Amino acid sequence: ASALLEIENMEVAFMLGNKAYPALQQISFKVGEKETVGIVGESGCGKSLTSLSVMGLLPETAAITKGGMTLDGKPLASGSAQEWSGVRGKLVSMIFQNPMSALNPLMPVGKQIAEMTRTHLGVSKQEGKRLALDMMGRVGLSRVDRLYDDYPHQLSGGMMQRIMIAMALVCSPKLLIADEPTTALDVTIQAQILDLLRDMNRELGTAILFISHDLGVIREVCDRVIVMYAGYIVEDAPVGDILERPKHPYTAGLLQALPSVGKRGRPLYTIPGRVPPLADRGTGCPFAGRCPSATDLCEAVAPELTETSPDHRVRCHLYADGGRAV
């Protein structure tokens, strides 16, 4: 069966003056129908840029310079507004870290959800309201008749994120992109929202592409994890494999930096160093400067993404012999 989302050898570059700086390179991955896939990495690794590409929302200074993607059998390479208008909201929708920035402060929240259905499904006012109220109930909001007429500022952060989720799901998209949706919330509310996303995946069959810097959050929601570093996919495997048998040294570092179960607060360990800036990425492995296993080969030659088993890919010279280039 063909995948819901299929990204094939995509490169995204920022244009600065007349120079192109690739910020994403050789990005290839699939998200199947109803699948939940996480993308993890530190800030600057390209995970948000990947999700913006899938939404056709790249910043003006950036463009897809190689490869492209297919969403539900529809090729989406040109990124023209017209191409995306039939897709966004309907086939794929997105929730962000800060719901306040996506909501209109001057319009009642229920009406904003109803407007989505009017725009994308072309339903009547009455039907739009019915769909909005129904979805508000499904995302766990109570007394929805009253809440329908409330304005965003009257809601708590957790309620607002539920409104955002209702807005994103009300037109039954096949894919939901969630970019750090719980990062701004406190721990209890965060757990509730993660539960809700998992429930929505099960009940509505919505596939989820979940972007986070936090592997601990991703493991709550996702079946599979893609690890990104400096604009490359460095590992892609089922979540259990990533947690128990990480292969890439960067993945191992992220895991080590994860606060252990039951312990909250700041991790004891952080990976030394930082992600190399765009203008300063050489020819070798981009992780070489921070990698405890780096050799001369790593400094000189970038490793390729290789398949070490049918559902596990890794980009590291340590595994080059045990794998097959993909």
Closest CA to 42 of 264, 300, 250: 250
Give the nearer residue to ligand SF4 in terms of CB position, either 16 or 300: 300
User: In 3-state terms, what secondary structure has residue 203?
Assistant: helix
| Cβ pair 5, 189 in contact under 8 A | no
Residue type, 40: V
Candidate segments 120-128, 153-161, 210-218, 312-320, binder of ligand SF4 by CB under 6 A: 312-320
Residues 292-311 that bind ligand SF4 (CB under 6 A): 293-294, 298, 303
Spell out the residues 6+ positions from residue 175 whose beta carbon is closer than 8 angstroms to its own. 4, 5, 31, 54, 71, 91, 92, 93, 206, 207, 208, 209
Q: Which does 48 bind (CB under 5 to 8 A by kind): Mg ion, ligand SF4, none?
A: Mg ion
Interaction residues for Mg ion, span 44-83 (CB under 5 A): 48
In whole angstroms, what is the distance from residue 162 CA to residue 88 CA? 19
Smallest distance from the beta carbon of 202 to ligand SF4, in angstroms? Answer: 36
Q: Count the alpha carbons within 13 Å of 305 in the hemisphere toward its beta carbon.
A: 22
CB of 314 to ligand SF4, least distance (A): 9
Which of 116, 58, 50, 103 is CA-nearest to residue 84? Answer: 58
Residues forming beta bridges with residue 36, ordered by sequence position:
208
Which CB sits closer to ligand SF4, 123 or 294? 294
Query: Is residue 228 close enough to count as binding ligand SF4 by CB under 6 A?
Result: no
Q: Transcribe 105-121 into DSSP letters.
A: TTS-HHHHHHHHHHHHH
Measured from the CB of residue 44, what is the shortest distance to Mg ion in angstroms?
9
For ligand SF4, the closer CB: 171 or 233: 233
The pattern of x and - marking residues 156 through 195 that bind ligand SF4 according to CB under 6 A reads: ----------------------------------------
Residues in the chain: 326
The smaller minimum CB distance to ligand SF4, of residues 116 and 291, is found at: 291
Nearer to ligand SF4, 38 or 303 (CB): 303
Strand partners, 70: 6, 75
- Which of 285, 312, 313, 323 is in the footprint of ligand SF4 by CB under 6 A? 285
Residues 235-254 close enough to bind ligand SF4 by CB under 6 A: 248-249
Q: Binding residues for ligand SF4, per CB under 6 A?
A: 248-249, 285, 287-288, 291, 293-294, 298, 303, 316-318
